[in-house]
């Protein structure tokens, strides 16, 4: 603050982490003012490099971040922001900006809700999505048993896509599947 050499605030990368799951949600930038506002309000504020202004996360979407803890790294050039999010953190509607690409695409389709979208028809009908997972699972199995590598890749792509759509249709998130897998390894 009060630096005479204008324009560009000193920016520190802020790694935003879910306080419960430990999952990394997003990366953003903080200047001193963002840090001060975050401390004062208990909600995450950042500096937008593209808009060149301070912004309160969720000021338009309502998906704010309640800050549990701010932690500086060993030499003070990064901040860990541990939060409880009020909704999906990513603008795509995914819970994390680092969610798998396919998932972010599906959540984007869900937000857009374009007329005639196949994804939307699956999201609106969990039974249809479930039936497709059954069909694609069988096709992937058949391809795996006796068809070319190319066919197997195609069928597994269909299976993954429809599995994600089914999770979305049921209001679930692949992060929950990851958590379940991690629990089994422990």
Report d(CA 132, CA 176) in Å as an integer.
21
Strands 79-85 and 12-18 come out as parallel
The verdict on 15 binding Zn ion (CB under 5 A) reads: no
Shorter beta-carbon distance to Zn ion: residue 97 or 128 = 97
Instruction: Tell me the closest approach of the beta carbon of residue 165 to Zn ion, in angstroms.
Output: 20
Instruction: Tell me the closest approach of the beta carbon of residue 91 to Zn ion, in angstroms.
Output: 5
The verdict on 90 binding Zn ion (CB under 5 A) reads: yes
Shorter beta-carbon distance to Zn ion: residue 15 or 156 = 15
The verdict on 24 binding Zn ion (CB under 5 A) reads: no
Q: In Å, how far are 129, 143, 160, 178 from 170, measured between CA atoms? A: 10, 28, 15, 16
Instruction: Tell me the closest approach of the beta carbon of residue 126 to Zn ion, in angstroms.
Output: 26
Shorter beta-carbon distance to Zn ion: residue 104 or 162 = 104
Q: In Å, how far are 18, 97, 100, 174 from 28, measured between CA atoms? A: 14, 11, 19, 23
Choices 64-72, 92-100, 107-115, 123-131 (CB under 5 A): range interacting with Zn ion? 92-100
Instruction: Tell me the closest approach of the beta carbon of residue 87 to Zn ion, in angstroms.
Output: 13
E-only strand ranges, 40-120: 45-48, 53-56, 65-72, 79-85
How many Cβ atoms sit within 10 Å of the Cβ of residue 23?
Answer: 18
Strands laid side by side in the 65-72 sheet:
24-30, 12-18, 79-85, 65-72
Instruction: Tell me the closest approach of the beta carbon of residue 9 to Zn ion, in angstroms.
Output: 22
Choices 10-18, 34-42, 64-72, 94-102 (CB under 5 A): range interacting with Zn ion? 94-102
Write out the residues near Zn ion by the rule CB under 5 A. 90, 97
């Amino acid at each position: 603050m009060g630096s005479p050499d204008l324009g560009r605030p000193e920016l520190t990368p802020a790694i935003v982490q879910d306080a419960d799951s430990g999952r990394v949600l997003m990366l953003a930038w903080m200047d001193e003012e963002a840090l001060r506002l975050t401390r004062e309000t208990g909600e995450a504020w950042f500096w937008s490099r593209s808009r060149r202004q301070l912004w309160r996360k969720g000021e338009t979407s309502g998906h704010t971040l309640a800050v549990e803890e701010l932690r500086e790294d060993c030499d003070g050039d990064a901040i860990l922001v541990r939060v409880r999010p009020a909704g999906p953190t990513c603008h795509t509607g995914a819970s994390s900006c680092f969610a798998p690409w396919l998932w972010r695409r599906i959540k984007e389709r869900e937000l857009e809700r374009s007329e005639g979208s196949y994804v939307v028809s699956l999201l609106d009908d969990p039974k249809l999505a479930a039936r497709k997972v059954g069909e694609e699972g069988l096709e992937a199995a058949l391809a795996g048993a006796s068809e070319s590598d190319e066919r197997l890749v195609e069928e597994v792509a269909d299976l993954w896509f429809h599995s994600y759509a089914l999770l979305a249709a049921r209001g679930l998130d692949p992060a929950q599947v990851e958590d379940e897998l991690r629990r089994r390894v422990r």
